[in-house]
Amino acid sequence: MSIYDIETKTITGDSQTLAPYKDKVMLIVNTATKCGFANQFEGLQKLHDEFNEQGFAVLGFPCSQFADQELGNDDEIAESCKLNFGVSFPLYAKINVNGSEAHPLFQHLTEEAKGMLGTKAIKWNFTKFLVNRQGEVVKRFGPQETPEKIKAHVEKLL
């Protein structure tokens, strides 16, 4: 199964696959609006704006598995992201990224790009996965790696 075949739900509840992003570079991020790393929303939006016309997209997947830092429903999350952080990049419905109920997308991402010491588990919010135009996961970035530090990796793939 290709990454483009995985079923997702947008933040507004519409079902879709990632097929609209075929032939694009994607940065897929598990987000949380109450997290200490939430200031990265601004940098993620900046990356999205700067490179979107070249075939790049940031995709945000809210998650509350880490210290319950995303307690709102999807409507509240979308509003908070827009009002507090200026987010206009695509957001998806709140999901789990770890455990037996992890979303199939994150099961795929963590299988393809393991973390430190070969672990699959995502350690915290704002873990980022860079996917090339062929749908291959090329790099995993930890929460502390800011969008500014990732920019050069994105440019290489574009």
Is 81 one of the annotated active-site residues of the chain? no
- Reported as half-sphere exposure (CB side, CA atoms, 13 A), residue 138 has a value of 15
CA atoms of 31 and 61, how far apart (whole Å): 6
Q: Which of 25, 28, 35, 95 is catalytic?
A: 35
Query: Is residue 35 within 8 Å of residue 127, measured between CB atoms?
Result: no
CA atoms of 18 and 142, how far apart (whole Å): 23
Contacts of 111 (CB under 8 A, 6+ apart): 120
Closest by Cα among 95, 103, 90, 93 to 20: 90
CA atoms of 29 and 141, how far apart (whole Å): 9
Query: Is residue 29 within 8 Å of residue 128, measured between CB atoms?
Result: yes
Residue identified by tokens 């790009």 is 113
The residues that are catalytic are 35
